C-alpha cells in the first residue's frame, strides 16, 4: 500500500508541477513577489497532496522566524525545501548556481530572489554569497541555508561546512537553527511513508558570536534536537507498521 500511495503521489507531484510551471510563465515579467506567491502555492499543494494521498502529515514546533534572520536547517529530503518555502515569508534560499540553468524551475527560483553561489569559486563564492545575503537581510527577508551543504541520511554523522560561519559573521544577523526528521518518511526521491514529519524551529543564536562558538552552538543545537525527533519518528513508524 505504501508503494502504491507513493506512486500516486509522485504522479500528482508531476501533474501539479507541470500545470503550475506553465501557468506561472506570465509571472516572469511581473514584480518578484508574484512568483513568490505562486511558489508558495505550489509548495502548499505538494504538502497537501502528501497528507491526502500518501498519509504523510507534518507538525511545526517552535516560533516560525520572521524578518531578516539566518535560518540554518538540517537537510534530509526534498520535503525540507518545500516546507520551508511554504512556512517562511519570502525567503532567500542559498542554492547552487547550476540550478538556475534548469528550464522553468531555474527561471522561477532566479526570479524569486535566491542566493546562487558557484561552489567551485572558493573564497570568491563566500564573498558573493555574503554580498547577496546582506541585500536579502536589508529587505527584512529570512535566508535559508543547509549548513551541511547537501542532504544527509537520518543518523548519518554531522558534517557542518565552514561557509555557514563565514556567512553568519559577515551579515551580522541572528541565526535560527532548525531540526527535523523528514528523511524517515520522505525516503529518497520516491517512497513516502505514512506518519508525521516534525520540523522544529529552535532557540535563536544571537548575532556576534565568535566563529568557533557559533559553530559549536549551532551543531549541538541542531544535532541534539534532531536525535530526539528521529527517536520520536522511529516510535511512530513502529506503531504504523
DSSP state of 141: -
Contacts of 221 (CB under 8 A, 6+ apart): 177, 179, 202, 203, 205
Which regions of 30-166 does DSSP assign to beta strands (E)?
56-61, 70-73, 92-96, 115-117, 143-145
pTM above 0.85, yes or no: yes
Return the CA Rg of the chain: 18
Q: What is the pLDDT of residue 239?
A: 86
160 backbone φψ class: left, alpha, beta (φ>0; ψ -120 to 50): beta
Question: Among 106, 105, 112, which residue's Cα sits nearest to residue 21?
Answer: 105
Contacts of 186 (CB under 8 A, 6+ apart): 56, 76, 77, 78, 79, 192, 197
Q: Rounded CA gap, 180 and 200, in Å?
A: 6
Give the domain extent around 148: 2-240
- For the beta carbon of residue 29, count every other beta carbon within 10 angstroms: 8
DSSP state of 88: S
Q: Rounded CA gap, 95 and 19, in Å?
A: 24
DSSP state of 51: I
Q: What is the pLDDT of residue 126?
A: 77
Question: Per-block average pLDDT, block size 10, for the chain (241 residues)?
Answer: 93 95 93 93 97 97 96 97 95 88 88 84 76 92 94 94 92 97 90 96 97 97 98 91 73
Q: What is the pLDDT of residue 121?
A: 65
C-beta of residue 154 within 8 angstroms of C-beta of residue 76: yes
Q: CATH number of the domain that 123 lies in? A: 3.40.1130
Instruction: Report the number of distinct structural domains present in the chain.
Output: 1
Which regions of 20-69 does DSSP assign to beta strands (E)?
56-61
Amino acid at each position: 500500500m505504501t508503494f502504491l500511495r507513493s506512486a500516486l503521489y509522485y504522479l500528482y507531484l508531476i501533474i501539479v508541477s507541470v500545470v503550475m510551471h506553465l501557468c506561472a510563465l506570465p509571472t516572469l515579467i511581473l514584480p518578484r513577489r508574484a512568483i513568490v506567491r505562486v511558489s508558495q502555492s505550489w509548495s502548499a499543494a505538494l504538502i497537501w497532496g502528501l497528507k491526502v494521498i500518501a498519509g504523510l502529515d507534518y507538525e511545526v514546533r517552535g516560533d516560525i522566524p520572521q524578518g531578516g534572520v539566518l535560518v540554518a536547517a538540517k537537510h534530509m529530503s526534498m520535503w525540507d525545501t518545500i516546507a520551508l518555502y511554504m512556512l517562511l515569508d519570502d525567503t532567500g534560499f542559498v542554492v547552487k548556481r547550476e540550478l538556475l540553468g534548469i528550464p522553468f524551475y531555474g527561471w522561477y527560483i532566479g526570479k524569486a530572489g535566491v542566493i546562487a553561489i558557484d561552489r567551485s569559486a572558493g573564497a570568491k563564492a563566500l564573498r558573493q554569497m555574503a554580498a547577496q545575503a546582506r541585500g536579502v537581510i536589508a529587505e527584512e527577508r529570512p535566508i535559508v541555508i543547509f549548513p551541511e551543504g547537501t542532504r544527509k541520511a537520518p543518523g548519518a554523522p554531522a558534517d557542518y561546512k565552514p561557509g555557514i560561519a563565514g556567512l553568519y559573521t559577515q551579515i551580522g544577523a541572528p541565526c535560527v537553527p532548525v531540526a527535523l526528521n523528514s528523511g524517515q518518511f520522505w525516503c529518497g526521491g520516491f517512497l513516502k511513508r505514512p506518519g508525521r514529519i516534525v520540523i522544529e524551529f529552535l532557540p535563536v543564536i544571537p548575532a556576534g558570536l565568535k566563529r568557533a562558538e557559533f559553530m559549536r552552538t549551532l551543531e549541538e543545537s541542531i544535532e541534539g534536537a534532531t536525535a530526539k525527533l528521529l527517536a520520536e519518528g522511529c516510535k511512530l513508524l513502529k506503531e504504523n507498521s
